[in-house]
């Protein structure tokens, strides 16, 4: 990218985006940045996906940031446009997903006057972004973008906003385009090798949690999950994928040590608590994974805790680790493989198989029919049977998701996408982004009736761009999760009526967009419906499941109030 030629700032920005490997931008158009859309329309290399809601556009960009090695990119208008996108930016911040948000702004001459839809983005975005970069100097537009990609992708990845005033796009500039900045990649230090290997070799009952940073490594380095499996086998380690990262380890592999999700079932947790070492390998660590800061206890873990995360700021922020390693988790896996397994790891065999046996028992497709609708377990188990080896599954937030984590046996090659921090509305847009990024593969979105009407409108975007995700909607007629929490915290108080939802016929709703619509009213209809839905592949499918509200989650049924194993 040369400095000699004069061009518009919009053209320079478009070329800089292309130089950063951007091939797709998700947007809802706005008058504040039409200069940039205009320039992008001259460049076939970047596809604009025009969405129906900025949250949808930004959730799609979040998904894209997980499906490829670069930040996802969304473009929204000022004020109302950005405000709509906030929920997805919040997810990117908590979930450590690289995201570049391009945001239109009022003209520079009007700054501070509260001009139409003007907002102070540094204030608005202070707690949900890594940086807000305001481009007030056209000559710095390209440099600002290069900085935004660098910051979004470096260390703990996250969202960066680039604020672009409406009047800069058509200005001529002779400024040079900025190429991408090479990522500085930390590796485990040689000196720490003995200690690292020593701690892991000595443990008799280690737990190894694998999370988001390893999922990111697996996108850049497809051998990462194979390497993890070899490490587990040779070093005799149990591997536990963390909350909403189930695709990192084959659930059927004998070294699978149990899913470390939201509220681990008591039997598995009791066994896990016998551990004498916990290694968080690319897991940032949250209240969810740590079972509300109890395992490991914050700030002083009750067992030696090794934290591997690509950012030293994060290690030691909440928990005091025994050992902190600031690098990509896959580097630690490779280093341990290169070192070779130490003598004596066989002593862990019984520990690994004990954890695995509990996990296998929990995976068993066991459930009872419910009196007031289809038990969603039946639907999820049917999807599990029909899921392709390279399928993508997305999940919105809600109790229906507990059935996915209890009954579906994921394996590497499959992809799982969700707002790890639990934002409703993410499931459908993420499915659209996955269907665009992984053409020809099966994409299944699980949604509650709450989430389906929050962001299910992006089925229109799927139709517009010719992709065919399958939406499976659990219609239990209420905001079930909140009903359950109300029932648990305030027993005897009404919740079924207060959390109730009046729903449309979702199959007919899907058909009105051009999708195929299927209704499941009884358990006997589940298997043929799912088999049909997953075989269509040519247009979106909506499977409307009339599910039980009494079966509150995969673990709890209202009429007995009990928690299953
Ligand atoms: C954007 C957003 N708003 C509110 C919540 C709080 N919340 C979590 S789960 C839930 C209910 C979800 O209901 P539904 O989609 O019907 O699924 P169900 O729990 O019934 O399975 C709500 C309101 C949230 N997580 N995200």
Whole-number Å distance, alpha carbon 549 to ligand 1 midpoint, is 14
425 CA from centroid of ligand 1 (Å): 9
CA–CA gap between residue 229 and residue 248 (Å, rounded): 10
Q: What pLDDT does 496 receive?
A: 79
Distance 123 CA to ligand 1 centre (A): 28
Helix (H, G, I), strand (E, B) or coil at 179: coil
561 or 162, which is more confident? 162
Buried b (16+ CB within 10 A) or exposed e, 14-46: bbbbbbbebebbbbbbbebbebbbebbeeeeeb
pLDDT of 4? 56
C-alpha 490 – ligand 1 centre gap (Å)? 19
What own/partner pairs with CB < 8 Å and gap ≥ 24 does 127-131 have?
A: 127/93, 128/86, 128/89, 128/90, 128/93, 128/159, 129/89, 129/93, 129/101, 129/158, 129/159, 129/160, 129/161, 130/93, 130/158, 130/159, 130/160, 131/160, 131/161
Rounded CA-CA distance 276/16 in Å is 50
Take atom 1 of ligand 1 and give the residue whose Cα is closest.
Answer: 424
Q: Tell me if 257 sits within 8 A of 239, measured CB to CB.
A: yes
**Mean predicted confidence (pLDDT) in 7-18:** 97
* pLDDT at 492 (0 to 100): 80
Asked if residue 188 lies in contact with residue 58, where contact means CB atoms within 8 angstroms, the answer is no
Ligand 1 atom with minimal separation from the 479 CA: 13
pLDDT of 565 over the 50 cut:
no
Tell me the mean pLDDT in the region 372-395. 97
Cα separations in angstroms, 135 against 158, 273, 454: 20, 51, 33
Q: Please determine, for residue 49, whether its predicted confidence score (pLDDT) is greater than 80.
A: yes
Q: In angstroms, what is the span from residue 460 Cα to ligand 1's centroid?
A: 22
Name the DSSP class of 346.
Answer: G
Distance 357 CA to ligand 1 centre (A): 32
Closest-CA residue, ligand 1 atom 11, reads 479
CA 214 to ligand 1 center in whole angstroms: 28
Q: Are 370 and 549 in contact (CB under 8 A)?
A: no
- DSSP type of residue 156: S
Q: What is the whole-number distance in angstroms between the Cα of residue 288 and the centre of ligand 1?
A: 16
pLDDT of amino acid 33: 95
Find, among 91, 101, 124, the residue nearest to 17 by Cα.
Answer: 101
Average of per-residue pLDDT across 414-433: 98
Nearest CA to ligand 1 atom 2: 424
413-433: average pLDDT: 97
Mutational pocket test of ligand 1: of 56, 424, 447, 472, the residue with most ligand atoms within 8 Å of the beta carbon? 424
- Ligand 1 atom having least distance to the Cα of 398: 19
Residue nearest to atom 9 of ligand 1 (CA): 398
Which protein residues are within 6 Å of ligand 1, measured from CB?
87, 397-400, 422-425, 448-451, 474, 476, 478-482
In angstroms, what is the span from residue 130 Cα to ligand 1's centroid? 27
- Looking at ligand 1, which atom is closest to the CA of residue 549? 20
Give the pLDDT of residue 563: 46
Residue 124: CB atoms within 10 A of its CB come to 18
pLDDT (0 to 100) of residue 495: 81
Contact between residue 169 and residue 9 where contact means Cβ atoms under 8 Å apart: yes
HSE (CB half, 13 Å, CA atoms) of 9?
Answer: 22
Q: What's residue 308's pLDDT?
A: 97
Distance (angstroms) between ligand 1 centre and the Cα of 220 equals: 33
Q: What average pLDDT is seen over the chain?
A: 95
What's the confidence (pLDDT) of residue 562? 46
Instruction: For tokens 């090794």, name the residue.
Output: 306
pLDDT confidence of residue 462: 98
Instruction: Give distance in angstroms: CA of 505 to centre of ligand 1.
Output: 20
Which H/E stretch holds residue 88? helix 80-95
> 459 C-alpha to center of ligand 1: Å?
19
Residue 447 CA, closest ligand 1 atom number: 15
- Report which ligand 1 atom has the smallest distance to the Cα of 423: 26
**Structure-token pair, residue 2:** 């040369």
- Ligand 1 atom with least separation from CA of 501: 16
Tell how strand 305-308 and strand 562-563 pair up: unpaired
Is 263 a residue whose pLDDT tops 50? yes
Name the DSSP class of 457: G
Closest alpha carbon to 196 in 87, 130, 277: 277
Q: Among 399, 445, 450, say which to mutate for ligand 1: greatest number of ligand atoms within 8 Å of CB.
A: 450
Checking if the pLDDT of 564 tops 50, the result is: no
Strands 99-105 and 159-165: parallel
Per-residue pLDDT tens over the stretch 103-119? 999 999 999 999 999 99
User: Which is the closest atom of ligand 1 to the Cα of 481?
Assistant: 19
pLDDT of residue 498: 85
Of 352-361, 364-373, 384-393, the poorest mean pLDDT is in 364-373
Digit-coded pLDDT (tens) for 176-211: 999 999 988 887 776 566 676 789 999 999 999 999
CA of 488 from ligand 1 middle (Å) equals: 16
Residue 146 confidence class, pLDDT cut points 50, 70, 90:
very high
Q: Which atom number of ligand 1 is nearest to the Cα of residue 396?
A: 15
Candidate of 54, 370, 398 to mutate for ligand 1, largest count of ligand atoms within 8 Å of Cβ: 398
Distances (CA, A) of 474 to 111, 123, 272, 442, 450: 47, 38, 32, 19, 9
What does DSSP assign to residue 370? B
Q: Pocket of ligand 1, candidates 128, 479, 501: which has the most ligand atoms within 8 Å of its Cβ, to mutate?
A: 479
What average pLDDT score do residues 432-449 get?
98
Tokens representing residue 64 in the block: 């894209």
3-class secondary structure for 475-523?
Answer: ECCECHHHHHHHHHHCCCCCCCCCCECCCCCHHHHHHHHCCEEEEECCH
């Amino acid at each position: 990218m040369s400095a000699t030629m004069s061009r518009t700032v919009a053209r320079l920005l478009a070329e800089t985006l292309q130089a950063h490997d951007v091939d797709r931008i998700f947007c809802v158009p706005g008058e504040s940045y039409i200069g940039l859309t205009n320039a992008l329309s001259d460049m076939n290399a970047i596809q604009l996906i025009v969405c129906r809601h900025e949250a949808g556009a930004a959730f799609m960009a979040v998904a894209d940031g997980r499906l490829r090695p670069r930040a996802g990119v969304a473009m929204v208008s000022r004020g109302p446009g950005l405000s709509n996108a906030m929920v997805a930016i919040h997810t990117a911040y908590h979930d450590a997903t690289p995201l570049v948000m391009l945001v239109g702004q009022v003209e520079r001459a009007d700054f501070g006057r509260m001009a139409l839809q003007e907002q102070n983005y540094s204030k608005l975005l202070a707690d949900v972004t890594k940086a807000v970069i305001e481009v007030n100097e056209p000559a710095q537009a390209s440099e600002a973008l290069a900085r935004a990609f660098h910051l979004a992708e470096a260390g703990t990845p996250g969202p960066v906003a680039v604020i672009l005033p409406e009047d800069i796009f058509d200005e001529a500039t002779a400024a040079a385009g900025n190429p991408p900045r090479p990522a500085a990649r930390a590796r485990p230090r040689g000196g720490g090798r003995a200690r690292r290997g020593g701690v892991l070799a000595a443990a008799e009952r280690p737990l190894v949690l694998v999370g988001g940073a390893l999922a990111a490594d697996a996108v850049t380095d497809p051998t990462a999950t194979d390497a993890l499996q070899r490490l587990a086998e040779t070093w005799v380690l149990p591997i536990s994928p963390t909350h909403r990262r189930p695709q990192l380890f084959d659930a059927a592999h004998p070294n699978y040590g149990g899913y470390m999700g939201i509220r681990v079932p008591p039997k598995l947790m009791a066994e896990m608590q016998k551990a004498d070492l916990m290694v968080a390998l690319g897991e940032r660590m949250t209240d969810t994974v740590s079972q509300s800061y109890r395992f490991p206890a914050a700030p002083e873990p009750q067992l030696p805790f090794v934290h591997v995360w690509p950012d030293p700021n994060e290690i030691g922020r909440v928990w005091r680790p025994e050992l902190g390693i600031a690098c990509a988790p896959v580097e630690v896996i490779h280093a341990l493989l290169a070192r070779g397994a130490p003598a004596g790891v066989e002593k862990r065999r019984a520990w690994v198989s004990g954890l695995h046996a509990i996990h296998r028992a929990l995976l068993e497709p066991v459930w009872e029919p419910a009196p007031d609708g289809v038990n969603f377990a039946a639907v999820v188990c049917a999807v599990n049977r029909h899921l392709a080896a390279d399928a993508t599954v997305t999940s919105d937030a809600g109790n229906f998701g507990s059935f996915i984590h209890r009954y579906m046996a994921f394996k590497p090659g499959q992809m799982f996408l969700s707002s790890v921090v639990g934002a409703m509305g993410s499931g459908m847009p993420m499915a659209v982004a996955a269907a665009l990024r992984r053409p020809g593969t099966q994409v299944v979105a699980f949604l509650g009736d709450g989430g389906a009407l929050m962001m299910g409108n992006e089925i229109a975007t799927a139709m517009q761009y010719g992709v065919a995700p399958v939406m499976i909607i659990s219609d239990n007629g209420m905001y079930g999760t909140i009903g359950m929490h109300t029932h648990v915290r305030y027993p005897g108080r009404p919740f079924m009526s207060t959390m109730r939802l009046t729903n449309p016929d979702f199959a007919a709703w899907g058909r009105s967009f051009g999708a195929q619509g299927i209704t499941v009213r009884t358990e006997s209809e589940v298997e043929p419906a799912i088999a049909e839905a997953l075989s269509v592949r040519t247009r979106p499918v909506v499977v409307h499941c009339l599910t039980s509200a009494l079966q509150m989650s995969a673990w709890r049924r209202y009429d007995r109030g009990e928690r299953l194993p």
